[in-house]
Structure 1
Amino acid sequence: MRIGELARQAGVTAKAVRYYESLGLITPGRLANGYRDYDGDDVRLVREIRALHRLGIPVEGTRPFLECLAAGRAYADDCPASLASYRAAIDELTGRIEALTARRTTLIAHLNAAAHRGSGVVPPEERGTAVMDYLTLPADLPVPEDDGAADHLPGTRAPRLALLDTAGRTVRLDALGPRRTVVYVYPLTGRPGTDLPEGWNSIPGARGCTPESCGFRDHFQDLLAAGAGRVYGLSSQDTDYQREVVERLGLPFDMLCDPALGLADALGLPTFEVEGMRLFKRLTLVLRDGVVEHVFYPVFPPNEHARQVLTWLREHPL
């Protein structure tokens, strides 16, 4: 077929086809008169290039996928080099997300400073002492015991539960797909200027939600590289409260809100009560294909937990 017909079938321009050919990504045959002659394989290759490019993979970066097809594989991402290209693209996107998150945090700080200027109110980012109180764990925190309350979870199917995240999206826990999703479940995060429940430090496993979230923030890119497709924090706090946490801590992932503790009721997760509130006990679920693949319970110390999850992912590659 001629180049115009190839471009029409593949949904690209003739100029794009010539560019792909100049890079050696496609190699058409030649007719007796010297004209290029494209076939169905070329259409498939150009469609593959187009689809990958729309995912954010540079045109030059599609070569491993095309070579995978040339090797006779049924899918362009059946080869190790293709998976490495996926990971490289994810790392690049993660870097951009983190850079944008940092810029957003800085803009919020400038906005708060400008909004509170002259009002006598101290903006959140200037309450350094209060913030550090939540980031620092007392040395004498009680260690939670394994009471067996999570032993039934591995192999359990995720419920058909839809939760709202801090980006305003609805997330179905049973429809997260084949990639591993890490969901760390926690009681509640402290907020500067807001008192924690009475006796919070004496409740095993209660204190440490902010350091835990910061740990997942700091190891986020490592977790993705180790095979985690997504990371979520989850608590019973409302979305506005969690959104403030995401902004204040500069988290590169979203939080899930479950004010009715629907996940606890559906899966039989352990909970506790304090000051009339029913809260999640701290644990972490690794979900895959709608099933609980692994559970971390109890979690201690919370500020080291992200590293514990990272170690498990590296020791249990897909």
Structure 2
Amino acid sequence: MGAGFTVLGMKGLAQMRISEVARLAGVTVKTVRYYESVGIVTPARLSNGYREYTEHDLRLVHEARALSGLGIPVERTKPFLDCLAGGHEHADDCPAALAGYRDAIAELDARIEALTERRDLLVRHLRQAAHRNSRVQPARIAMSTNLYELPPNLPVPEDDGAADHLPGLEVPSLELPETSGEAVRLDALGGGRVIVYCFPLIGTPDVDLPEGWDSIPGARGCTPESCSFRDHYAELAAAGAPHVFGLSSQDVDYQAEVVERLHLPFGMLSDAGFRLADALRLPTFEAGGMRLYKRLTMVIRDGRIEHVFYPVFPPDRHAGQVLDWLRANPA
């Protein structure tokens, strides 16, 4: 501490006024007066009542300010300042100063431990509230962003042509597990149009999303999208689409927790093996070491893909876009 400190512009001047000490040390006059009140500096008093400070006083004020910046309170700076007063070049050249460092570190460790315990308690409360009455509890605890709202300035996905081949294709005869516990064949539902919105993954309030998630075009927004389909579910059915499914590569138990937590009136389909994606050549991407579905919505009628929404943006208003299309294109 204090190596190479000099009184800039004051070389050869032995005495200074309080305003100059404050300016050179980078503190306020009030701070210098406080340091005097606690005994860090003891300026001489002139007959007219003015204080006169030496270069040594300036050095002490400078060191006290630097130590305060490290989190060492003024009342614990005495070992360091005594080290300077003893003629040492640095304020931490003495054993007592090193002990002062150790004490400050120990105090910080105790505060960190207390704050960590408080944080863990808050996370536990968050976990309990987020998953109350749910069947599935995620294994990893972590703080997350607000999944129900889209952050501003998300990158807009571009149409890369990966879905151009889909309209008109027959849906393969695959059985996919659904959160109700049944297996669903999309080609055999009948009774009106079927809406299948594919999405990457839905996060939970206490599990972090993959690193850099918000910077991937079209990745963020699975929870708002699902809530949008929930809120428009009755209107979609009235417009001729009584069957709505969310579809992702997440497992059924994970999806079941999502259906419960978001109060979805429809089920979700799990395609952990990407059987539908491979059969139809649906677009996917890699993130966080996982293969994931790109966001895409298919309108299926009589076992054939009638219309495709791709890319999907913004996801929180997508169900309204699907509803508008249904109304403009009655079956």
TM-score range, shorter chain: 0.5 to 0.7
Give the match for residue 228 of structure 1: 241
Give the match for residue 276 of structure 1: 289
Question: What is the TM-score normalised by the length of structure 2?
Answer: 0.58
Distance 1:161 1:189 in 2: 23
Does the 8 Å CA contact 2:210/2:288 hold for their aligned counterparts? yes
Moved over 6 A (4+): none
Query: 2:250 aligned to 213, 234, 237, which one?
Result: 237
Asked if 1:246 corresponds to 2:249, the answer is no
Matched AA of 1:262: R
Give the match for residue 154 of structure 1: 167
Query: 1:173 aligned to 186, 202, 210, which one?
Result: 186
Matched AA of 2:265: P
Distance 2:151 2:126 in 1: 26
**Could you say which structure has the higher helix fraction?**
1
Deviation string 1:178-212 (CA, Å, 9 cap, x unpaired) is 41000000000011110100100000000000000
Q: What's the Cα RMSD here?
A: 2.1
Does the 8 Å CA contact 1:162/1:171 hold for their aligned counterparts? yes
Distance 2:293 2:126 in 1: 30
Structure 1: give runs of 5+ residues left out of the alignment. Answer: 1-117
Deviation string 1:241-292 (CA, Å, 9 cap, x unpaired) is 0000000000000000000111110000000001221100000001111000
Q: How does 1:107-256 map to 2 (within 5 A)?
A: 121-122=124-125, 124=127, 126=129, 133-256=146-269
Does the 8 Å CA contact 1:164/1:257 hold for their aligned counterparts? yes
**Number of aligned positions between the proteins:** 200
Distance 2:249 2:299 in 1: 19
Matched AA of 2:300: L
Does the 8 Å CA contact 1:159/1:263 hold for their aligned counterparts? yes
Matched AA of 1:187: P
Give the match for residue 97 of structure 1: none
Matched AA of 2:237: L
Give the match for residue 54 of structure 2: none
Distance 1:270 1:212 in 2: 18
How far did residue 131 of structure 1 move? 8.2
How far did residue 125 of structure 1 move? 6.8
1:144/1:179 CA distance change after superposition, 3 Å? same
How far did residue 158 of structure 1 move? 0.0
Matched AA of 1:126: A
Distance 2:130 2:255 in 1: 19
Identity %: 64
Distance 1:218 1:173 in 2: 23
Deviation string 1:111-139 (CA, Å, 9 cap, x unpaired) is xxxxxxx9x942647359x7870011111
Distance 2:124 2:219 in 1: 30
Matched AA of 2:193: R
